Structure 1
Amino acid sequence: MKTSDTDILIVPGWSGSGPDHWQSRWEAKLPTARRVEQEDWYKPTRDGWANRIVAAVRAATKPVVIVAHSAGCSAVAHAAEHLKPHEVAGAFLVAPASERAKRAIPGMADDFSAIPQKPLPFRSVLIASATDPYCTPDEARALAEAWGSEFVDAGDSGHINTESGHGPWPDGLLRFAGFMKNLTAI
């Protein structure tokens, strides 16, 4: 699939991915990308965030590809429970926040941090770092297995965000292009 043939939904995590974050840069660079805006970026709730994702998917006019980061990955897993088969072509999930993030991220509701453990109804890849403070490698592998996602070890990359030196993240963009190339139209 080509990016021009899809609606790319950017799903940030807690705080909404600032202007230097790779998600914001991709949103500006990819013409069919748009951010799924949340009512409150600092107080994630399961139903609030999931409903916004479901609404964005249903408003799309082309096959949907989701690009999620951190708590946005959890939000996608919560939203997946409400999506119909074939509403999403694929999801590119980066640096998921495990249930341990509830202790580190202020304002995260208990219902949000209880992450679904069911296979996602669309193709997905989960990229995780060995040194992510919000999700251990074992937790990330378990999420990938539960969700039916291809697992990619990003090595010593922190939380794969601006603070860990991943503003532009060219390696991620190359990996995303490979993911897109292997997606089929729904």
Structure 2
Amino acid sequence: MTATLIIPGLYGSDHGHWQRFWLHDRPESVLVEQDDWDDPLVDRWAERLEAALIEHGEAYIVAHSLGCLLAAKFADRPSARRIKGALLVAPCDLRPTERRHPDAAIRFGPMPTRALPFPSITVGSLNDHYMELDRLTLYARLWKTDLRNIGLAGHINIASGFGRWTGGYALFDNLREKAKAPRRYAPDHTPHTSLG
């Protein structure tokens, strides 16, 4: 069975987070670790993701928050061909504000803007204080991803009541169906953001 790589956001996904349940409920799931969840270094984290893709041959991605941006920044790497599809849940906005956690995120580089070369579904909400809906809509358009707004769901994390999230499994199954359709990988050569 094709592996599913779980990519948490800043500070990792604590026990009780829907990604932890995903690792338990879906045996093909693998956590993409990094050295320091409180202070992520994008290049090293990308190397971990690349190594996991090479190890598994190809894989799906299920990412949350800052992990979504890692997946999106990965679009310009040759091994992005190994990504069968990505479920990007509650991506965060890297613009520093008092309501966000800018200290680590600033070193994550600029927001990715390149179209994703793999099938994807991006999930957001009406009241996520880490990414306003108009900004989420903008990046969904740039990434050419299928945007799903699930209403008043906050940051889709423990604080907003998302433990075991069966709705996420349904979205992922929909993504796998999308991934079965033939696709052509045609990297564009327009300017895009770098990993650093």
110-119 vs 38-47, greater mean Cα deviation: 110-119
Structure 1 partner of 2:162: 166
What's the counterpart of residue 20 of structure 1? 16
> Structure 1 residue aligned with 2:50, among 50, 54, 60?
54
Matched with 2:93 is: 98
Question: 1:102 & 1:16 partners in 2: Cα distance?
Answer: 21
User: How far has the Cα of 1:109 moved from its partner?
Assistant: 4.6
| Secondary structure in structure 2 of the residue aligned to 1:89 | strand
Partner residue of 1:42 out of 29, 38, 42: 38
Q: Distance in 2 between matches of 1:122 and 1:67?
A: 13
Alignment partner, residue 64 of structure 2: 69
Letter in 2 for 1:45: L
Amino acid at match of 1:66: I
**Structure 1: runs of 5 or more not aligned:** none
Following TM superposition, the consecutive aligned residue runs of length 4 or more in structure 1 with deviations greater than 6 angstroms are none
Query: What's the CA shift string for 1:80-105, capped at 9, x where partnerless?
Result: 22233521110000000012367522
CA contact (8 A) 1:46 1:109 kept: no
- Secondary structure of 1:84's counterpart equals helix
Q: How does 1:123-134 map to 2 (within 5 A)?
A: 123-134=119-130
* 1:86 aligned residue: 81
Q: For the residues of structure 2 that align with 1:101 and 1:73, how far apart are their CA atoms?
A: 17
Task: Specify whether residues 102 and 79 from structure 1 end up closer, same or farther in structure 2 by C-alpha distance, changes over 3 A only.
Answer: farther
User: CA RMSD of the aligned region, Å?
Assistant: 1.8
Q: Quote the residue 2:133 is aligned against.
A: 137
- TM-score scaled to structure 2, two decimals? 0.85
Question: Residues 107, 32 of structure 1: CA spacing in aligned structure 2 closer, same or farther, 3 A cutoff?
Answer: same
Question: Secondary structure of 1:146's partner?
Answer: helix
Change (3 A) 1:116 1:30: same
- Of residues 39-48 and 88-97 in structure 1, the stretch that sits farther from structure 2 once superposed is 39-48
Q: 1:85 to 1:176 in 2, by over 3 A?
A: closer
Q: What is the TM-score with the length of structure 1 in the denominator? A: 0.90
Cα distance in 1, alignment partners of residues 28 and 11 from structure 2:
23
Counterpart of 2:66, as a letter, is A
Identity of aligned residues (%): 36
Unaligned runs of 5+ in 2: 184-196
Closer/same/farther in 2, CA of residues 109 and 164 from structure 1, 3 Å limit: closer
Contact 1:130 1:154 (8 Å CA) reproduced: yes
Secondary structure of residue in 2 paired with 1:108 = helix
Q: Secondary structure at the match of 2:82?
A: coil
Q: Any idea what the Cα deviations from partners look like across 1:9-36, whole Å, max 9, x if unmatched?
A: 0000011101100011001111110000
